[in-house]
Amino acid sequence: MDTTRILGTDAIEFVNSGLFNRSVLISHIPITTPFALGLEAALKAVDFGEPAVCSDRQVTKVFKEYTGETIDFSIHFDLELNLAFTRLVRVIANESGWLEGWKALAMACPDCGMHDQLMQNVATGIDVFKSVKVSTLPHEKLDIKFRVTANPSLTSIPEIGPKTPGGHNWEKDEQYKKVVKSRNAPIDLPMGLCPFYAWIGVAKKVESSEDVPKEAAAFWTSQLLGIVDYDFDKDERNMKGGIRHAIKYTAEMGIENDHKLRGAAWIGLLTMDRQCFNRSVQMKWVKEGQGNFVLGPDDIDPEEFGIAGYVDCAALAPFAYQSAEQLLPSRLSMFVAVSFANQHDLLFDMGCSSRISCAAYADAAGVFKYDLPQAWTVGMIDAIATRALNGMEDQKPLYPAWERFIKYTRMLRKSESKVSAGILKRAQQGLVLVPKNWEESIGDAFERLLDPANASKMVNRKACTTEYQLSEPAKHLQEYRVDAPELCEKCFSPLLEAFFKPSDTIQAIPGIPSTVTRSAPVSIAAAIRRGPLFAITSECCDLCACRIGLWANRMSDKAVISIMIVEPSMSLREWLLCNYFMACVAFSPLRMVSVLANFDLNADISFEDGAMGVRDVADC
């Protein structure tokens, strides 16, 4: 037994007193430790729930673990058993912190999906948040100046607005409203399609209760509690009834069900508590204003930092639906997704001094000059898609950048720096690092990304993919109301020609079915891509390039809406491959993440005071 878990003498005496006295058991013990809003809600639901949340043997086990004493609870009624257990968990949380309280709760219900490995990973993530340090070394900058401002000019190439919490015209888009309603999503969590799809999409086809509206809504609510990562809990306009309504609903759902659905509820509440903790640390980083360029492997082990990255996804509830064995490959897939997102969002992580950035960590290892992080990520994404393609048909899933792309590319092409030329050259080459072993740990996988020697092992992506001919786009563009932007007379005709181009191609792994390659989401995504590809040419004027960037960001909503609409008609394999195939539009002929991340790292970027809102940092 791990004796480090044993409570102090006074705490043990307090817990044990009155264990067989109902009047003592029903007396409330408040949780005084911070970041335990979700834990307290879960325990309140357990307090007077029936039947007992777990067997008397499991309660005995938890008591033994934390008090060192063996107590027979077999004579307790369900109510008394629940109260005795929650009394212990509250004392554990008050003495040892909110996470230890969650660990005790998970120990009592070992079959609900809160696996030991997952709980250990959450603890590792918290330790990394507490200890990560930033570098004080200056970054050399290109001859390019760029500015993030709260109110950007719509006609200016060298400036852009702050990151927004998702979507553009979603409140008025009837197609979006209809598909959200069809998902049995909770109506009291209205939000733009970017956060909605990010949290719902990663969990789609995971849970088995989709045909039962009440259970589906409960599952989605538990998953969507992670949106505190977007500060949605700070404004009731984003959550009718406020965050507490959603918390109470999820906690009650957890006690009304058992096994995986209970696990989803509790992991959702745990995720919320964890994100609130993360936010408190992030706000300290913001106040310090030291930026987000961490020391990397010299400070924190790649395995630990990678784990911190994956658990920071704020979308852990679906892991309750997998076995402990399935968690290992699933978390690697999630780490790849987080790393991919970090490469897109590096600019905004810089502006908010967000230190848990796999991209910033990789920069510390000096591998961006080889485009190695991007090569590794795309290689891993291809491998994940191959795994989905070759897996069983009914397998369970393992678990707005166009405007910047246009502006960055045009500025890099005008730059006189050899570094700028190198960024564009590598983005055009689009080399990949092919993974050799899918069973490797997060740390081993991350170390391949961080090793400069692997730059010599990168290969042309065309050697391990094939070229697909897409369907004529006009029908799909009309169906989803994807209209071309208004441009000057000189730029409009060539843009229109590119937008409605009847024959376009996408490079992807072999074997993608035609139900994917000729689908509406793919057709729309490819048509949107053709706009920015025209906008980065000298044929397009600066004013129209800005307009196309804003248009592409807005129209990207349509691609997401379309994949939400077609999802019910697709098998799991088809749906996973469709998400992958849509992503491939940004891998060639000019790899987006190569342009974005390398520009963010190298350009002379300034942040207007207040541009990033409450998380603003102007001197990073």
Lowest-confidence pick of 242-246, 350-354, 416-420, 532-536: 242-246
Range scoring the smallest mean pLDDT among 117-126, 256-265, 535-544: 256-265
The pLDDT value given to residue 278: 93
Element (H, E) at 348: helix 324-351
Helices (H), 365-441: 372-390, 402-414, 418-429
Per residue in 201-216, pLDDT (tens digit) is 766 766 555 556 677 7
Q: How does 361-375 read in b/e, with b if 16+ C-beta sit within 10 Å?
A: bbbbbebbbbbbbbb
- The reported pLDDT for the residue numbered 395 is 55
Give me the pLDDT at residue 617, please: 47
Sign of CA dihedral 353, 356, 359, 362: positive
Q: Which residues contact 443 (CB under 8 A, 6 or more apart)?
A: 301, 302, 303, 304, 306
Give the integer Cα–Cα distance in Å for 572 and 204: 9
Ranges of H-type helices in 22-148: 22-25, 37-47, 56-67, 78-96, 98-108, 116-131
The letter for the amino acid at 358 is C
Mean pLDDT, rounded, for 578-595: 95
Helices (H), 486-589: 489-499, 514-517, 520-535, 542-566, 572-583
* DSSP at 584: G
- Return the percentage of the chain with pLDDT > 90, whole number: 55
Residue 200's pLDDT is what? 73
* Cα angle value 347/351/354 (rounded, 5°): 90
Q: Where are the domains of the chain?
A: 3-110, 145-615
* Nearest partner of 476 among 418, 540, 525, 549, judged by Cα: 525
589 cis-preceded (ω within 30 degrees of 0): yes
Burial class for 492, CB neighbours closer than 10 Å (0-12, 13-18, 19+): middle
pTM: 0.89
Q: By CB neighbour count within 10 A (0-12 exposed, 13-18 middle, 19+ buried), where does 170 fall?
A: buried
Integer Cα distance of 587 and 566 in angstroms: 23
* pLDDT-based confidence at residue 183 (cuts at 50, 70, 90): confident
Q: How far apart are CA 459 and CA 15, in angstroms?
A: 62
Q: Name the token pair of 453.
A: 């020697």
Q: What is the mean pLDDT of residues 266-291?
A: 91
188-245 tens-digit pLDDT:
566 777 777 777 776 676 655 555 667 777 777 888 888 777 776 766 555 555 677 7
Across 11-40, average pLDDT: 87
Please state the rounded mean pLDDT for residues 17-45: 88
DSSP state of 294: B
- Whole-number Å distance between alpha carbons of 88 and 94: 10
Cα→Cα distances 82→26, 45, 49, 463, Å: 10, 10, 8, 60
Question: Residue 393: pLDDT band by 50, 70, 90 thresholds?
Answer: low
Model confidence at 516, pLDDT cuts 50, 70, 90, reads: very high
**All residues at 6 or more sequence positions from 525 whose CB lies less than 8 Å from its CB, including other chains:** 559, 582, 585
246-250 mean pLDDT: 85
Whether residue 124 is predicted with pLDDT greater than 50 in this model: the reply is: yes
Q: According to the model, what pLDDT value does residue 319 have?
A: 86
Query: Mind listing the pLDDT tens digit for each residue in 356-385?
Result: 999 999 999 999 999 999 999 999 999 989
Percent of the chain exceeding pLDDT 70 equals 91
| pLDDT surpasses 90 at 391 | no
What rounded mean pLDDT belongs to the chain?
A: 87
Calpha distance 527→484 (Å, rounded) = 10
d(CA 184, CA 166): 20
The pLDDT, as a whole number, for residue 483 is 92
- How much is the pLDDT for 173? 84
Q: Is residue 159 within a helix (H) or strand (E), and if so which, with residue range?
A: strand 159-160
